[in-house]
Amino acid sequence: MIWLIGVYLVLVIALPLALSALVSYRTLPRGVTCPLCRGETFAVCARWLRWASRMVRRGTLVRRWCPACRWEGVVRQQVLPGAPRVRPPRREPRPER
Protein backbone atom coordinates (compact mmCIF):
# COMPACT_ATOMS: atom_id res chain seq x y z
CA MET A 1 0.00 0.00 0.00
CA ILE A 2 2.85 2.41 0.82
CA TRP A 3 4.44 1.91 -2.60
CA LEU A 4 1.15 2.95 -4.24
CA ILE A 5 1.33 6.27 -2.39
CA GLY A 6 4.94 6.72 -3.55
CA VAL A 7 4.04 5.98 -7.17
CA TYR A 8 1.08 8.34 -6.94
CA LEU A 9 3.24 11.18 -5.57
CA VAL A 10 5.83 10.67 -8.31
CA LEU A 11 3.23 10.64 -11.08
CA VAL A 12 1.16 13.54 -9.78
CA ILE A 13 3.81 15.88 -8.34
CA ALA A 14 7.39 15.07 -9.39
CA LEU A 15 6.80 14.16 -13.04
CA PRO A 16 4.81 17.32 -13.96
CA LEU A 17 7.37 19.51 -12.16
CA ALA A 18 10.26 17.89 -14.02
CA LEU A 19 8.50 18.16 -17.38
CA SER A 20 7.58 21.82 -16.86
CA ALA A 21 11.16 22.65 -15.85
CA LEU A 22 12.48 20.92 -18.97
CA VAL A 23 10.05 22.70 -21.29
CA SER A 24 10.74 26.06 -19.63
CA TYR A 25 14.49 25.60 -20.03
CA ARG A 26 14.16 24.66 -23.70
CA THR A 27 12.12 27.81 -24.46
CA LEU A 28 14.72 30.23 -23.03
CA PRO A 29 16.48 32.34 -25.69
CA ARG A 30 20.14 31.57 -26.45
CA GLY A 31 23.13 33.84 -26.84
CA VAL A 32 23.91 37.41 -25.86
CA THR A 33 21.61 39.27 -28.27
CA CYS A 34 18.17 40.57 -27.37
CA PRO A 35 15.37 38.24 -28.56
CA LEU A 36 13.15 41.23 -29.39
CA CYS A 37 15.39 43.74 -31.20
CA ARG A 38 18.60 41.71 -31.74
CA GLY A 39 20.58 44.42 -29.95
CA GLU A 40 23.51 43.93 -27.60
CA THR A 41 22.60 42.95 -24.05
CA PHE A 42 24.46 43.34 -20.78
CA ALA A 43 24.77 40.76 -18.02
CA VAL A 44 22.94 41.54 -14.78
CA CYS A 45 23.83 39.81 -11.50
CA ALA A 46 21.33 37.22 -10.28
CA ARG A 47 22.35 35.06 -7.33
CA TRP A 48 19.61 32.47 -7.78
CA LEU A 49 20.79 31.73 -11.32
CA ARG A 50 24.17 30.57 -9.99
CA TRP A 51 22.39 27.80 -8.12
CA ALA A 52 20.19 26.94 -11.10
CA SER A 53 23.18 26.90 -13.47
CA ARG A 54 24.85 24.19 -11.42
CA MET A 55 22.03 21.84 -12.37
CA VAL A 56 22.55 22.47 -16.10
CA ARG A 57 25.47 20.60 -17.66
CA ARG A 58 25.86 22.09 -21.12
CA GLY A 59 24.92 25.67 -20.47
CA THR A 60 24.82 28.54 -18.06
CA LEU A 61 21.77 30.59 -17.17
CA VAL A 62 22.45 34.33 -17.26
CA ARG A 63 20.17 37.29 -16.62
CA ARG A 64 20.58 39.96 -19.31
CA TRP A 65 19.25 43.46 -20.04
CA CYS A 66 18.86 45.26 -23.37
CA PRO A 67 19.26 49.06 -23.16
CA ALA A 68 17.64 49.60 -26.60
CA CYS A 69 14.21 48.07 -25.93
CA ARG A 70 14.44 47.70 -22.12
CA TRP A 71 14.01 43.91 -22.30
CA GLU A 72 15.23 42.02 -19.25
CA GLY A 73 15.23 38.26 -18.96
CA VAL A 74 17.09 35.01 -18.58
CA VAL A 75 19.04 33.48 -21.44
CA ARG A 76 21.08 30.33 -21.70
CA GLN A 77 24.64 30.48 -22.88
CA GLN A 78 26.42 27.47 -24.29
CA VAL A 79 29.53 26.31 -22.45
CA LEU A 80 32.18 24.75 -24.66
CA PRO A 81 33.43 21.32 -23.51
CA GLY A 82 37.06 22.40 -22.95
CA ALA A 83 36.35 25.89 -21.60
CA PRO A 84 36.37 26.41 -17.82
CA ARG A 85 33.32 27.95 -16.23
CA VAL A 86 33.82 31.55 -15.20
CA ARG A 87 32.69 32.25 -11.68
CA PRO A 88 32.21 35.75 -10.31
CA PRO A 89 34.57 36.77 -7.51
CA ARG A 90 33.33 36.15 -3.99
CA ARG A 91 32.49 39.13 -1.88
CA GLU A 92 34.55 39.64 1.20
CA PRO A 93 32.60 40.19 4.41
CA ARG A 94 32.21 43.77 5.51
CA PRO A 95 34.30 44.78 8.49
CA GLU A 96 32.27 45.34 11.62
CA ARG A 97 32.33 48.81 13.11
The residue-averaged pLDDT of 66-74 equals 91
Q: Where are the domains of the chain?
A: 28-79
Our CA dihedral for 29, 30, 32, 37, rounded to 10 degrees, sits at -40
pTM: 0.59
Q: For residue 41, with 0-12 CB atoms within 10 Å meaning exposed, 13-18 middle and 19 or more buried, which class applies?
A: buried
Does the pLDDT at position 68 exceed 70? yes
The residue-averaged pLDDT of 10-36 equals 86
pLDDT bin (cut points 50, 70, 90) of residue 81 is low
